[in-house]
């Protein structure tokens, strides 16, 4: 009879929708997972410890496309069906059970084997945000089920493993090594992670004695300090500002190639895109500070205390965004803080004015709402209740719901108790109202003298140049404020350069990096009187400035292109090789410049479309090859591969580029000739789209 019921349960859609948190508490999952890069698969041996809350005849783990065997407890049955592993038997209320079993998986998502089938550096990494860890690890998709994960990973011994918790031991097993990690406290399954690669790490201690580990691939050793700059300062600030010690054992950060997002706050082990690896010059324009602070803040807001459902997602993203901004205020100053608030207020107001505003407690709201409107709500709340009450409320909220899942009411209750205020109006205006409270936001912003002055400067945009020249000149008096200087240049861009020549001269002479960068971005037609000043931008410590100035100079002064090429030869730029790829492209379309080197330059430029490189490099190379309407055979093949890429933005880009090239007979002929010679999975999109 029980066997019959079991068969009914595993095929019943109604049952599969149910949650089992009221029936069973999965307390611990431990064991060893053998990662097999040659087949992009894994074998695991797991032990699951659980306590039954209500009598039942079945308990499950979420596990997508798993096969299972070897259940050691013979009183129960085990089976994998419809995305779950089922334990079937007579479960008694109040009793604890332990199950040990083997499983196999070939993940189609969530665990990524990067580089193993090409010449790129070999990596394995996971991204389980939401309900995806069950694609590689039998676990629980429900964020409300908190589990202690003590996992070991077996990998080829040439590689390092970084995972949740404290590294307890490393043991050699033949050609492999087993890395054993231990967690002390429970967490939601989506926060389980592992990264494997050829990594080294730097290390430092926080004021409270927590170990921070900064991982890097050996070729990036010289970029470690600039990439991880301010990490300890941010950590120490959070422990003081939040008022709760770091709730985990240690903290690691690992850059990975082709990461799906900017970063992910896996418990004790943040993974982030290698695009944020930077040197001192790149730090000016593309640094890791904000992502660093955001993911670290999640260790409290999201990991330590988790939103119970999507409706309350702002409790994670709004908090992480707000506290990251507080940390950046510590690093970059008060003006930075208020300018970022101003920027996001403008975006939120624009969305609201278009009728597309969203309530914070809308489970389907956009990232802009959850992140930026959430941060604004906390900024306003802090002003309403006062700094002392705000800190007290946050602290008691975290202590009361430690290692649990909560909703917004739980947070607001603690804030009302801490402040003795009725927050019903705040709740209505900032949590339930879809429109952005722009007037209230503006009133808050104007508490900053800096913002008031910036708004006065921006108000000059509607005036004729003769009516505002003296005010713009005043804004360019040294020392020039970063934000005021940029605003002046943006207003100059609306005028004829020769009519505001003296103002441009002052902007160039400001010695302000961001003011000069604004000129590089906006001044496309360069008066000959400003040629020398524009050339000086090639020496600025900003890869963005160098890139824009190089392009503008190349277009305006063809007689001096050789000088510009020699000035930037060998400069790579950001991680996406922005300067090197632009340099190569302009080399190819400059008839008078080193024609004998053009074949080798084209070969190198084409090589950057390869899967060896991060998708950002590839997209950059594809974009410029399209601009000059020339592709190598290998680049065509790389484009096919890109249409199946795991990063959806890059996949979309490749599909759109392929569609565009397909309309051109020259390119279409080349593509058709290749489509049957490439791996079938790479050709799948083209064959379906073009009925091949």
Predicted pLDDT of residue 19? 66
Per-domain boundaries in the chain: 1-110+131-166, 314-447, 450-568, 598-692
Structure tokens at 77: 């049955």
Instruction: Encode pLDDT of 270-324 as tens digits.
Output: 999 999 999 999 999 999 999 999 999 999 999 999 999 999 999 999 999 999 9
Closest CA to 475 of 509, 514, 507: 507
Residue 215 clears pLDDT 90, i.e. is over it: yes
Contact 650, 611 (CB under 8 A): no
Average pLDDT over residues 145-156: 98
Contact 52, 23 (CB under 8 A): yes
Average pLDDT over residues 101-126: 96
**Cβ atoms within 10 A of the Cβ of 646, count?**
16
Residue 7 clears pLDDT 70, i.e. is over it: no
CA distance 106 to 34: 12
Instruction: Encode pLDDT of 543-588 as tens digits.
Output: 999 999 999 999 999 999 999 999 999 999 999 999 999 999 999 9
Average pLDDT over residues 611-638: 97
CA angle at residue 458 from 456 to 460, to 5 degrees? 80
Structure tokens at 544: 């963005």
Instruction: Encode pLDDT of 437-459 as tens digits.
Output: 999 999 999 999 999 999 999 99
Closest CA to 83 of 103, 63, 61: 63
What's the pTM? 0.95
Beta pairing, strands 111-114 & 123-126 = antiparallel
Average pLDDT over residues 328-337: 98
Residue 338 clears pLDDT 70, i.e. is over it: yes
Q: In angstroms, how far is the first alpha carbon of the chain from the final one?
A: 52
Predicted pLDDT of residue 131? 82
Q: What is the H or E stretch that residue 658 is in?
A: helix 648-662
Average pLDDT over residues 656-664: 97
Instruction: Look up the CATH number of domain 314-447.
Output: 1.10.390.10
Residue 91 clears pLDDT 90, i.e. is over it: yes
Average pLDDT over residues 653-660: 98
Contact 673, 665 (CB under 8 A): no
Exposed/middle/buried for residue 433 (C-beta within 10 Å: 0-12, 13-18, 19+):
middle
Average pLDDT over residues 96-121: 95
Over pLDDT 70: what percentage of the chain? 97
Side by side, which strands form the sheet with 56-62? 56-62, 84-91, 77-81
Predicted pLDDT of residue 4? 30
Q: State how far the alpha carbon of 463 is from the alpha carbons of 452, 456, 457, 519, in Å.
A: 18, 12, 11, 20
CA distance 158 to 110: 23
117-120 — which CB contacts under 8 Å span 24+ positions? 117/611, 118/610, 118/611, 118/612, 119/610, 119/612, 120/257, 120/611, 120/612, 120/613
Predicted pLDDT of residue 73? 74
Predicted pLDDT of residue 284? 96
Predicted pLDDT of residue 74? 77
**Of 1.25.40.20, 2.60.40.1730, 3.30.70.260, 3.90.1010.10, which CATH number belongs to 1-110+131-166?**
2.60.40.1730
Residue 420 clears pLDDT 90, i.e. is over it: yes
Beta pairing, strands 166-173 & 123-126 = unpaired
**Mean pLDDT score across all residues of the chain:** 95
Contact 71, 78 (CB under 8 A): yes
Residue 691 clears pLDDT 70, i.e. is over it: yes
pLDDT tier at 9 (50, 70, 90 boundaries)? very low
CA distance 269 to 254: 7
Closest CA to 281 of 548, 513, 550: 513
pLDDT tier at 507 (50, 70, 90 boundaries)? very high
**Cβ atoms within 10 A of the Cβ of 305, count?**
25
Residue 8 clears pLDDT 70, i.e. is over it: no
Contact 97, 153 (CB under 8 A): no
pLDDT tier at 158 (50, 70, 90 boundaries)? very high
Over pLDDT 90: what percentage of the chain? 95
| 3-class SS of residue 575 | coil
CA distance 338 to 340: 5
Average pLDDT over residues 605-611: 98
| 3-class SS of residue 671 | helix
CA distance 48 to 102: 11
Predicted pLDDT of residue 681? 92
Structure tokens at 304: 């330590």
Predicted pLDDT of residue 130? 75
Contact 179, 167 (CB under 8 A): yes
Closest CA to 66 of 53, 79, 52, 49: 79
């Amino acid at each position: 009879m029980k066997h019959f019921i079991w068969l009914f349960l595993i095929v019943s859609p109604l049952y599969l929708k149910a949650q089992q948190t009221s029936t069973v508490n999965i307390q611990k999952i431990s064991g060893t997972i053998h990662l097999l890069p040659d087949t992009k698969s894994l074998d695991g041996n797991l032990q699951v410890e659980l306590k039954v809350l209500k009598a039942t005849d079945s308990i499950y783990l979420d596990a997508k496309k798993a096969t299972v065997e070897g259940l050691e407890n013979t009183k129960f049955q085990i089976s994998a069906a419809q995305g779950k592993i089922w334990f079937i038997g007579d479960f008694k209320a109040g009793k604890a059970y332990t199950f040990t079993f083997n499983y196999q998986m070939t993940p189609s998502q969530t665990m990524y084997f990067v580089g193993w089938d090409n010449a790129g550096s070999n990596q394995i990494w996971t991204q389980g945000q939401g309900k995806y860890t069950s694609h590689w690890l039998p676990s629980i998709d429900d964020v409300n089920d908190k589990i202690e994960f003590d996992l070991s990973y077996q990998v080829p011994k040439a590689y390092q493993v970084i995972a949740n918790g404290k590294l307890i031991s490393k043991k050699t097993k033949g050609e492999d090594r087993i890395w054993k990690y231990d967690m002390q406290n429970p967490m939601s399954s989506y926060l389980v992670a592992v990264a494997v690669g050829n990594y080294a790490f730097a290390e430092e201690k926080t004021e409270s004695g927590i170990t921070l580990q900064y991982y890097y691939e050996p070729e990036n050793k010289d970029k470690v300090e600039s990439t991880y700059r301010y990490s300890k300062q941010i950590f120490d600030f959070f422990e003081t500002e939040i008022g709760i010690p770091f709730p985990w054992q240690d903290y690691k950060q690992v850059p990975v190639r082709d990461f799906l997002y900017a970063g992910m706050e896996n418990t004790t082990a943040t993974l982030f895109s290698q695009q944020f690896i930077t040197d001192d010059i790149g730090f000016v324009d593309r640094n890791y500070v904000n992502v660093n602070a955001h993911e670290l803040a999640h260790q409290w807001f999201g990991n330590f205390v988790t939103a119970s459902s999507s409706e309350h997602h702002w409790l994670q993203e709004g908090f992480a965004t707000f506290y990251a901004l507080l940390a950046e205020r510590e690093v970059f100053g008060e003006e930075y803080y208020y300018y970022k608030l101003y920027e996001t207020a403008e975006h939120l107001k624009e969305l609201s004015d278009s009728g597309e505003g969203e309530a914070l407690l809308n489970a389907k709201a956009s990232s802009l709402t959850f992140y930026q409107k959430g941060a604004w709500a906390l900024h306003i709340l802090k002003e309403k209740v006062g700094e002392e009450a705000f800190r007290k409320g946050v602290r008691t909220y975290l202590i009361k719901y430690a290692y649990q899942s909560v909703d917004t009411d739980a947070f607001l209750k603690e804030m009302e108790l801490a402040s003795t205020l009725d927050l019903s109006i705040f709740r209505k205006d900032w949590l339930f109202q879809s429109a952005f409270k722009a007037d209230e936001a503006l009133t808050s912003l104007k508490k900053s003298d800096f913002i008031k002055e910036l708004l006065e400067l921006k108000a000059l945009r509607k005036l004729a140049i003769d009516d505002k020249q003296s005010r713009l000149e005043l804004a360019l008096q040294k020392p020039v404020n970063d934000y005021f200087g940029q605003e002046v240049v943006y207003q100059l861009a609306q005028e004829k350069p020769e009519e505001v020549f003296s103002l441009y001269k002052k902007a160039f002479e400001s010695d302000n990096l961001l003011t000069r960068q604004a000129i590089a971005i906006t001044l496309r037609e360069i008066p000959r009187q400003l040629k020398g000043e524009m050339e000086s931008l090639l020496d600025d410590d900003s890869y963005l400035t160098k890139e824009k100035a190089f392009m503008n100079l190349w277009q305006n002064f063809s007689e001096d292109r050789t000088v510009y090429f020699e000035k930037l030869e060998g400069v790579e730029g950001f991680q996406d090789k922005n300067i090197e790829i632009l340099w190569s492209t302009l080399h190819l379309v400059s008839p008078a410049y080193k024609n004998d080197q053009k074949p080798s330059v084209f070969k190198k430029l084409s090589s950057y479309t390869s899967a060896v490189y991060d998708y950002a490099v590839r997209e950059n190379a594809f974009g410029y090859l399209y601009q000059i309407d020339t592709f190598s055979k290998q680049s065509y093949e790389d484009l096919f591969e890109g249409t199946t890429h795991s990063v959806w933005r890059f996949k979309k880009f490749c599909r759109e580029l392929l569609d565009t090239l397909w309309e051109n007979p020259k390119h279409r002929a080349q593509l058709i000739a290749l489509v049957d010679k490439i791996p079938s999975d790479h050709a799948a999109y083209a064959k379906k789209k073009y009925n091949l």
